[in-house]
């Protein structure tokens, strides 16, 4: 990841699945790879991302089951995907530490959009200060 800053986000009501906002925040000019946890991906969603006319390349974590554990190749692929996905998880961790929690309690979607936008802005300001100092790459 070359930017290391939050460059886009989407806010949906609680009754809308996260995947439904996925396509609205993906840039057609950016890397076509879509990284996601296996919990977010049903067969229909993977099929939609993998369709011949889809501009995206699904990089979905695979999940093992009791009678069908992951193969070594699947484990290696998951590890490789994790190196990129961890950048996103660090954003949530940083926001959790500074804001105290990630639970949002607002009435109305507009207020939630503003509140999340301000959290993202605060994260970007703090992250930019670190990047400018050259402390963390």
- Checking 128-133 for CB contacts under 8 A at 24+ apart, the result is 128/5, 131/4
Tens of pLDDT, residue by residue over 35-47, are 777 766 677 777 7
Closest CA to 5 of 136, 135, 128: 128
Q: Note the pTM of the prediction, 2 decimals.
A: 0.69
C-alpha closest to that of 16 among 136, 115, 112, 131 = 112
pLDDT at 113: 92
Does residue 20 register a pLDDT over 90? no
Q: Measure Cα distances from 118 to 33, 110, 111, 123, 124 in Å.
A: 27, 12, 11, 9, 10
Name the more confident of 29 and 75.
Answer: 75
């Amino acid at each position: 990841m070359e930017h290391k800053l939050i460059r886009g986000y989407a806010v949906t009501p609680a009754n809308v699945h996260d995947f439904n906002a996925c396509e609205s925040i993906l840039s057609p000019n950016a890397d076509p790879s879509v990284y996601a946890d296996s919990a977010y991906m049903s067969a229909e969603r993977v099929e939609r991302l993998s369709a011949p006319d889809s501009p995206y390349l699904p990089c979905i974590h695979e999940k093992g089951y009791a009678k069908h554990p992951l193969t070594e190749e699947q484990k290696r692929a998951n590890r490789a995907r994790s190196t990129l996905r961890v950048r996103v998880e660090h954003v949530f961790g940083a926001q959790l530490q500074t804001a105290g929690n990630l639970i949002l309690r607002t009435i109305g979607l507009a207020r939630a959009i503003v509140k999340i936008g301000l959290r993202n802005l605060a994260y970007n300001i703090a992250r930019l200060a670190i990047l400018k100092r050259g402390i963390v790459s």
